[in-house]
């Protein structure tokens, strides 16, 4: 077995043993095996450390990934190999075993980001498995925080506040800057009436010869039947190198951070980027260290304030919350909740992912919001968090699509999607399949929410105010049919008491339920 700093992490559930997690840096000459999501300098103990990089075709054959996701991952991996030159031993092989069997000398690896990959490294003899990197809070720190909760729920808000205290981010002594920890209430404005956020177009990377080689290889693999993809090909929109990632971070801080907060939950058909940072793919590839991102964000806010150019605190705090709060929390809950978490299905949802959704067939869909979001996803491999949660996730929740299948779909279809990202986000938050471990109530809503937070409904054939008839909004009707279907399972949830009571006031409820039964998961 591999020598491990993880303790019990290869078992079923629970945190890695915190007593073993501070494994010392490996001896000089030990080669650092870096996975394709560990590509930044913070995964090395010193700049000149020898590196092992492995490109495994089997990874892309196991799932039908978005074409742009496959391109981004391979481009980033190959760019890192090119940067390192002779410092890196780079194997392009059918599977990991082929490469590892060729490697001579000792290996170390920072703990990978999924149960499957950790099992892989723990099975390899002679591999030192070090503590995970790439997150603000370490696993020992999370274990200490969770252990000190005295049986109370592990709430993201409490975790986030603890992390800000430990790292002195947006703090004035012992108190948060501005006197409030959470400014979410200031960041829920609908889109501007003129449909313009008023920020410049994001900075975009330029493809190079490595991108061209990746595209040619993907074309060839697909033609040979080795892989299959979904979604459109390029151009590459997200950073594949650390230099590109730093440029995107600087562009966001300079031009978009100030406008980020107020409309971060808004959706616009004509502006899919709004003021979002577009940094999640770079963070999840390991090109940026999240702590450096939040430190740079705080520095930008303080420097601007010193120059008399105040950034809205709601924007600064909202972005910091995403990076060192939610992202870290989801990572740690993935391990804390254990392997069996992704199989939870509290609401008894067993429908398959429909073919039109799996294929990103936006042309098959009449509902303007869902069609537009699918079109963005097909083209870019990315949409921001509200279309994910309140359009795609909301639809799957209402229609009873299997949460594990939806987890796989999100993992495969989004350029920033990884196992650790999607299990807690989809099973827990989006599909409420955990019965309330992560979120206190289901994120289900009718068309009124989408109408308020977007400009989709004005030109849609469906009316968000109607639940019966050919022009009944599938989200409005679907909401009431969902509540009816899950009434017994949600009866003990106090936050759902009033919505469930509303069912009894709908004289047309039987007709709504029958209408939605006939609709099923056909394209709305």
**Unique residue bearing structure tokens 């309330």:** 436
pLDDT at residue number 459: 87
Residue pair 421/326 in contact by the 8 Å Cβ criterion: no
pLDDT at residue number 10: 33
- The tokens for 336 are 């804390």
pLDDT at residue number 263: 93
Angle at 73 between CA 382 and CA 11, to 5 degrees: 95
Architecture field, domain 3-130: 3-Layer(aba) Sandwich (3.40)
What is the CB neighbour count within 10 angstroms for residue 177? 18
- The pTM is what? 0.93
- The tokens for 19 are 């007593």
Phi, psi of 4 (to 5 degrees): -130, 140
> 168: which residues sit within 8 A by CB, 6+ positions away?
none
Q: How far apart are CA 303 and CA 297, in angstroms?
A: 10
Strand partners for 108? 32, 128
What is the CB neighbour count within 10 angstroms for residue 304? 16
Helix (H, G, I), strand (E, B) or coil at 92: strand
Across 111-244, the runs of DSSP E, i.e. the strands, are: 127-130, 171-172, 175-176
What is the CB neighbour count within 10 angstroms for residue 169? 21
Q: Give first-to-last CA distance, the chain, whole Å.
A: 52
Give the pLDDT of the chain (524 residues) as one tens digit per residue: 444 443 333 334 444 433 233 444 556 679 999 999 999 999 999 999 999 999 999 999 999 999 999 999 999 999 999 999 999 999 999 999 999 999 988 999 999 999 999 999 999 888 999 999 999 999 999 999 999 888 788 999 999 999 999 999 999 999 999 999 999 888 899 988 887 888 999 999 999 999 999 999 999 999 999 999 999 998 999 999 999 999 999 999 999 999 999 999 999 998 999 999 999 999 999 999 999 999 999 999 999 999 999 999 999 999 999 999 999 999 999 999 999 999 999 999 999 999 999 999 999 999 999 999 999 999 999 999 999 999 999 999 999 999 999 999 999 999 999 999 999 999 999 999 999 999 999 999 999 999 999 999 998 999 999 999 999 999 999 999 999 999 999 999 999 999 999 999 999 999 999 999 999 999 99
pLDDT at residue number 213: 98
Domain 3-130 identical in fold to domain 343-519: no
Looking at residue 519, the DSSP 8-state letter turns out to be H
Residue pair 475/394 in contact by the 8 Å Cβ criterion: yes
Helix (H, G, I), strand (E, B) or coil at 329: helix
Question: Which CATH number is 139-205+240-337 given?
Answer: 1.25.40.80
Residue 318, CA distances (Å) to 322, 386, 436 in order? 6, 14, 24
Q: How far apart are CA 371 and CA 365, in angstroms?
A: 5
pLDDT at residue number 11: 36
pLDDT at residue number 5: 42
> 473: which residues sit within 8 A by CB, 6+ positions away?
367, 446, 447, 457, 460, 462, 463, 464, 465, 466, 467
Helix (H, G, I), strand (E, B) or coil at 87: helix
pLDDT in tens, 473-493: 999 999 999 999 999 999 999
Domain coordinates in residue numbering, the chain: 3-130, 139-205+240-337, 343-519
Q: How far apart are CA 110 and CA 132, in angstroms?
A: 5
Tell which CATH classification among 2.40.100.10, 1.10.579.10, 2.40.50.100, 1.10.3720.10 matches the domain 343-519: 1.10.579.10
> What region does 253 belong to: left with phi over 0, alpha with psi -120 to 50, or beta?
alpha
Ordered DSSP codes for 211-277: HHHHHHHHHHHHHTTS---BS------S--SHHHHHHHHHHHHHHTHHHHTTTTT-BBTTBSSTT--
pLDDT at residue number 16: 42
């Amino acid at each position: 077995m591999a020598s491990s700093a993880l303790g019990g992490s290869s078992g079923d559930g629970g945190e890695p043993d915190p007593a073993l997690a501070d494994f010392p840096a490996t001896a000089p000459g030990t080669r650092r095996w870096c996975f394709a999501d560990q590509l930044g300098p913070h995964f090395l103990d010193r700049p000149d450390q020898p590196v092992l990089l492995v490109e495994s075709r089997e990874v892309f054959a196991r799932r039908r990934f978005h074409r742009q996701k496959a391109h981004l991952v391979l481009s980033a991996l190959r760019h890192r190999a090119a940067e390192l030159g002779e410092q890196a031993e780079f194997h392009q092989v059918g599977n990991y075993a082929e490469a590892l069997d060729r490697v001579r000398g000792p290996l170390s690896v920072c703990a990978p980001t999924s149960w499957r990959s950790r099992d892989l490294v723990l099975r390899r003899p002679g591999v030192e498995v070090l503590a995970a990197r790439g997150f603000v809070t370490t696993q020992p720190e999370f274990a200490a925080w969770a252990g000190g909760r005295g049986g109370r729920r592990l709430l993201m808000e409490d975790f986030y506040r603890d992390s800000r205290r430990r790292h002195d981010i947006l703090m004035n002594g012992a108190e948060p800057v501005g006197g409030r920890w959470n400014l979410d209430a200031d960041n829920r404005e609908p889109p501007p009436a003129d449909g313009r956020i008023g920020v410049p177009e994001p900075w975009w990377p330029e493809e190079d010869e490595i991108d061209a080689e990746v595209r040619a290889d993907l074309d060839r693999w697909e033609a040979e039947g080795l892989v299959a993809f979904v979604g459109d090909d390029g151009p590459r929109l997200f950073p594949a190198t650390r230099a590109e990632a730093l440029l995107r971070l600087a562009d966001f801080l300079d031009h978009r951070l100030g406008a980020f907060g107020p409309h971060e939950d808004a959706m616009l058909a004509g502006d899919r980027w709004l003021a979002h940072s577009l940094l999640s793919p770079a963070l999840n590839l390991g090109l940026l260290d999240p702590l450096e991102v939040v430190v740079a964000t705080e520095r930008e806010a303080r420097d601007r304030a010193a120059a008399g150019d105040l950034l809205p605190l709601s924007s600064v705090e909202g972005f910091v919350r995403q990076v060192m709060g939610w992202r870290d929390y989801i990572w740690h809950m993935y391990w804390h909740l254990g392997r069996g978490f992704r199989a939870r299905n509290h609401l008894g949802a067993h429908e398959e992912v429909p073919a039109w959704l799996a294929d990103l067939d936006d042309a098959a869909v009449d509902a303007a919001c869902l069609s537009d979001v699918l079109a963005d996803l097909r083209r870019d491999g990315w949409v921001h968090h509200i279309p994910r949660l309140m359009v795609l996730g909301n639809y799957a929740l209402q229609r009873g699509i299997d949460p594990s299948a939806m987890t796989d779909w999100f993992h495969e279809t989004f350029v920033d999607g990884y196992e650790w990202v999607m299990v807690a986000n989809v099973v827990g938050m989006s599909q409420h399949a955990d019965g309330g471990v992560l979120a206190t109530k289901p994120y289900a809503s009718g068309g009124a929410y989408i109408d308020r937070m977007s400009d989709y409904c004005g030109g849609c054939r469906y009316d968000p105010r109607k639940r019966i008839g050919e022009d009944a909004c599938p989200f409005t009707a679907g909401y009431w049919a969902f509540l009816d279907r899950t009434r017994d399972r949600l009866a003990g949830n106090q936050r759902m008491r009033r919505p469930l009571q509303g069912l009894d006031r709908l004289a047309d409820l039987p007709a709504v339920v029958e209408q939605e039964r006939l609709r099923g998961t056909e394209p709305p």
